[in-house]
Structure 1
Amino acid sequence: MIRVLMLGWEYPPHISGGLGTACEGLTKALADEPVAITFLLPRLFGGEQARHLRLVDATRRPLGKTAADESWDESRDGTRLKTLPIDSWLMPYLRPLSLADRERLWAGGPRGLEELIHLLQASEPGSGGALYGQNLFAEVDRFAERCLAHAQTLDFDLIHAHDWMTYPAALAAAKATGKPLILHVHSLETDRSGDAVNTTISSIERRALQQADTVIAVSHFTKQKIIEIYGLAEKKIFVVYNGVQEPGSSAESPKATTWAVELSPPLSPPPPRDRKTVLFLGRITFQKGPEYFVEVAAQVARFIPHVRFVMAGEGDSYPRVRELVRERGLEQVFEFEGFVKGRDRDLLFQQADLYIMPSVSEPFGITPLEALCFDVPVLISRQSGVSEVLSHVLKSDFWDVDEMADLVVGALTHGELRTDLMKMARQELKKINWRVAGRRTFEIYLNTLQMAKSVFEK
């Protein structure tokens, strides 16, 4: 049995993107391997209703947590997944490290990391400073402090951390315990921000990835970017593709979405049967290419006037995208649904005739797989990891609006094309599942532990 300390930033049903969905799918698959997972995550909301998890309220838990406080989830063949939510709001006056201090410590190598651990351990409530509860970097530091305290009281064989927000915590825990460290890259700062890279985040990614024992990338597309941007050795990086869950199997749906459904705005009435629907579902940010979706809509609307274009999601590009819709005169055929999940999300897929993912840089991309589960053909950007595992789908470069528009018109007007695409895509979909990802991750665990043992014996 391999005991894993896993660090994540979100978990269904409280999610803001694909990271939480991926963590749920992978941990469920690992639960069927000889693996016991202790999952540490910030707890910013109450009332989680993930049906396969028994979550523990960490609001009043002291730092010196005992094994009796732990909660376990049962897999098909026994208890495998232990969940330990950490309330990152417990100490709102925790003194966050300044950006200058953080950069200095990251640049200091092992000795700098030792100083970072000391500062995190020495932090106390009421030590001065302003309230930083809404500051992302302060929350990252707060999470690192809490995880470090728990890591020193738990028994585990290795650490597995997901994306940059957990990397400081993972590095501190690895340094304090001497356990091997695996970092899982679901996206990079260059994917999320393009040319407007946050240098602090990229610095965190660089230092952490260079010091990790093993790195997991969600695609070869992402693996190559890690090599090019951060200079890692190819042999250190292993690719594990994401999977997809059948509709209704996630912690988000169906009953677990009661909380989300009540707070979500009502969906628009279903469209008439003679009106085609093209769907964009994802964060409305630079990375996801929402502007390209609007430009494609403008071209398609000239050929098929009654097509309905639906954009579901939220993000910092929303004001610009809404203005672009107005500039292109698409108000009568374009709808914004806001952030949706659970049954609302399923309903959008059921209404769609075509799903488009025009991402500028997509490390993987789970939503096209979800669309295929609803028998919805997809058009995806070639600049995506999921394009490596899907052959029988429509593909285009994200910037080629003309080609995308032509593909959309063809898919909406030729029923035979839609039927053929879905017939072949269903066969591909059978091979893309979390069980494969779980088995591959378990093999990486074994390899990482063997390498660590070899180094120790030397």
Structure 2
Amino acid sequence: MHPISIAMITDFFFPNVGGVENHVYMLSANLIRRGHKVIVITHSHQPDRVGIRWLLPSLKVYYIPFVPIASSATLPQFLTFLPYLRTILIREHIHLIHAHASLSSLGHEGILHSHLLGVRTVFTDHSLFGFDDAASILTNKLMAGTLKNVDAVICVSHTGRENTVLRGELFERYEEDPDVLSVRRSVYVIPNSLVPEQFQPSPPKSSDMITIVFLSRFAYRKGIDLLVATAPRICAAFPNVRFVVGGDGPKLVDLLQMREKHLLQDRIELLGSVPHTDARSVLVQGSIFMNTSLTESFGIAILEAACAGLYVVSTRVGGVPEILPKDMISFANPDEDDVCRAVGEAIQIVSEGKHDPLLAHERVKTFYDWTQVAERTEAVYDAVLKSPQMDLWVRMQRTMQLGPFAGPIYTIILIVDCLFFLFLEWWMPREDMDFVQEHWNQDRFAELARKATRDVQ
């Protein structure tokens, strides 16, 4: 595939820490190494994090001055975002945008606006959502409106693909039989990955104490209530077990109250928020990793823990069963008794020396590789660029399929978006823009660095 210019658009990016943030950065870095030009468009994260920043290796990041409302997500901006996006895409000569995360308003709006510029679109869904609560219903309808006109969709697990297809209404009707539906061919599965060298296991510990590590955001969907309920029972049943818990979030108060109530200050260590760069140093303190998520599309923390040599205990939810072989993980139903059973099983396996951390690390190295992820994503880009592009009439027809209420509303938004775009074409003509003539030149940078080093010496 010849080099192209790609814009990653998401609300979730550095300096915030999380699975989506790391995925976007690592995918961008590997695409750059494969010869493509990649930029990231996100919102401002701190008072001074506005404008353009550069990250290694030659990744340009546009921090748009939009304020997040909660969990690093912004409110839908629609027309407010269009002037920024139009200017950036034209100046940077972008061929394709890649939006990330269902809760990213910038990602959804990027897909809506990009078709006006003839820029192709790809969307990656990183999460699972339900169908019966108000937040999920609203999010799913917003996503369905976006994905009606997207060129390709990527999911991080097969379970995630099924969930996204249902939520995003990614169906097509057979021309021969309109009553028969089929899943769109442009829905792909490409898993998450990691850098194995960053999660080397530590030498075996000669201690009778078994440490269980828990690293997660302290939110309801991460199953913190299960941890609060099971940790005292596990400590009572196994006197040689201690917990190291890292993370932060609204459920931190419940953990503190549980530790205080059961007098487990010496058995449960709370580390607070742990930067991703320090994740390995926390993981190697233990021999078992515990995950109690109630919903999980992939679970990158599980993969990192297994790579660091820990035996994994996890709830059997979402795409978690797809991550590791059965002999590297013990599953439990998301209830208190079964989690305690699975932890007891893991403690027995580790105590009897049936789990080899170094062998686990070597196996994980062969399962996941960012180079392969970049190659597979590149194949999706190639298929999108070679496919026919939808015109405005086809997009309006697809949008009207959303239903008797949502269909007309989204179609009106689509039409108003087109009119505002035409106004911007008149108000800010392309010929008046300051185009980016040259991106980061790594060879030139290396030459200047060597020259500066010689001058200092």
Settle same-fold status: TM greater than 0.5.
yes
CA contact (8 A) 1:159 1:182 kept: yes
CA contact (8 A) 2:308 2:361 kept: no
Shift of the 404–9 alpha-carbon distance from structure 1 to 2, 3 Å rule, reads: same
Match of 1:178 among 114, 118, 123: 118
1:108 corresponds to which residue? none
2:248 corresponds to which residue? 314
**Could you tell me how far 1:381 is from its partner in structure 2?**
2.5
3-state DSSP class of the match of 1:284? coil
Tell me which amino acid in the other structure corresponds to 1:241: P
Give distance in 2, aligned partners of 1:329 and 1:25: 42
Give distance in 2, aligned partners of 1:212 and 1:454: 9
Structure with higher Rg: it is 2
**Could you tell me how far 1:7 is from its partner in structure 2?**
1.0
CA RMSD of aligned residues (A): 3.4
CA contact (8 A) 1:144 1:172 kept: no
Tell me which amino acid in the other structure corresponds to 1:83: K
Name which of structure 1's ranges 281-290 and 327-336 shifts more when overlaid on structure 2.
327-336
**Is 2:90 the counterpart of 1:88?**
no
Tell me which amino acid in the other structure corresponds to 2:378: F
Shift of the 372–134 alpha-carbon distance from structure 1 to 2, 3 Å rule, reads: closer
CA contact (8 A) 1:180 1:448 kept: yes
So what's the TM-score if we normalise by structure 2?
A: 0.71
Give distance in 2, aligned partners of 1:368 and 1:276: 18
Give distance in 2, aligned partners of 1:329 and 1:211: 56
2:29 corresponds to which residue? 28
**Could you tell me how far 1:248 is from its partner in structure 2?**
4.2
Shift of the 135–218 alpha-carbon distance from structure 1 to 2, 3 Å rule, reads: closer
CA contact (8 A) 1:289 1:398 kept: no
CA contact (8 A) 2:6 2:95 kept: yes
Match of 2:365 among 421, 429, 435: 429
Match of 1:350 among 280, 284, 289: 284
**Is 2:344 the counterpart of 1:409?**
yes
**Could you tell me how far 1:156 is from its partner in structure 2?**
1.8
Query: How many residues of Structure 1 are paired with residues of Structure 2 in the alignment?
Result: 369
1:396 corresponds to which residue? 331
**Is 2:165 the counterpart of 1:215?**
no
Give distance in 2, aligned partners of 1:446 and 1:422: 38
Name which of structure 1's ranges 423-432 and 281-290 shifts more when overlaid on structure 2.
423-432
Q: Which runs of 5+ in 2 are unaligned?
A: 172-182, 200-204, 395-457
Give distance in 2, aligned partners of 1:135 and 1:360: 21
Q: Which runs of 5+ in 1 are unaligned?
A: 48-56, 62-69, 75-80, 97-131, 250-270
**Could you tell me how far 1:420 is from its partner in structure 2?**
4.6
1:372 corresponds to which residue? 306
Shift of the 447–303 alpha-carbon distance from structure 1 to 2, 3 Å rule, reads: same
> Superposition pairs for residues 47-86 of structure 1, below 5 Å?
58-59=50-51, 74=57, 82-86=59-63
Give distance in 1, aligned partners of 2:365 and 2:198: 17
1:440 corresponds to which residue? 376
Tell me which amino acid in the other structure corresponds to 1:32: R
> Superposition pairs for residues 294-309 of structure 1, below 5 Å?
294-309=228-243
Name which of structure 1's ranges 3-12 and 139-148 shifts more when overlaid on structure 2.
139-148
> Superposition pairs for residues 6-405 of structure 1, below 5 Å?
6-12=8-14, 14-45=15-46, 58-59=50-51, 74=57, 82-89=59-66, 136-138=73-75, 146-164=84-102, 165=104, 166-190=106-130, 195=133, 197=135, 199-233=137-171, 234=183, 235-246=185-196, 248=198, 273-326=207-260, 330-391=264-325, 392-405=327-340
2:6 corresponds to which residue? 4
CA contact (8 A) 1:42 1:88 kept: yes
Give distance in 1, aligned partners of 2:81 and 2:240: 49
CA contact (8 A) 2:191 2:373 kept: yes
Give distance in 2, aligned partners of 1:240 and 1:397: 26
Shift of the 82–326 alpha-carbon distance from structure 1 to 2, 3 Å rule, reads: closer
Give distance in 1, aligned partners of 2:390 and 2:35: 22
So what's the TM-score if we normalise by structure 1?
A: 0.71
Name which of structure 1's ranges 366-375 and 328-337 shifts more when overlaid on structure 2.
328-337
3-state DSSP class of the match of 2:17? coil
Shift of the 190–314 alpha-carbon distance from structure 1 to 2, 3 Å rule, reads: farther
Identity %: 21
Give distance in 2, aligned partners of 1:145 and 1:199: 29
Match of 1:419 among 341, 355, 365: 355
**Could you tell me how far 1:232 is from its partner in structure 2?**
1.2
3-state DSSP class of the match of 2:127? coil
Give distance in 1, aligned partners of 2:268 and 2:293: 19
CA contact (8 A) 1:390 1:425 kept: no
Shift of the 137–424 alpha-carbon distance from structure 1 to 2, 3 Å rule, reads: closer
**Could you tell me how far 1:354 is from its partner in structure 2?**
0.7
**Could you tell me how far 1:453 is from its partner in structure 2?**
5.7
Give distance in 1, aligned partners of 2:291 and 2:10: 25
Tell me which amino acid in the other structure corresponds to 1:202: N
Give distance in 1, aligned partners of 2:245 and 2:237: 20
**Could you tell me how far 1:343 is from its partner in structure 2?**
5.0
3-state DSSP class of the match of 1:361? coil
1:67 corresponds to which residue? none
Name which of structure 1's ranges 167-176 and 365-374 shifts more when overlaid on structure 2.
167-176
CA contact (8 A) 2:313 2:332 kept: no
- What per-residue deviation string (whole Å, max 9, x for no partner) do you get for residues 63-118 of structure 1? xxxxxxx96854xxxxxx541322425xx7xxx9xxxxxxxxxxxxxxxxxxxxxx
CA contact (8 A) 1:379 1:396 kept: yes
CA contact (8 A) 2:157 2:191 kept: yes
Give distance in 1, aligned partners of 2:310 and 2:283: 7
3-state DSSP class of the match of 2:209? coil
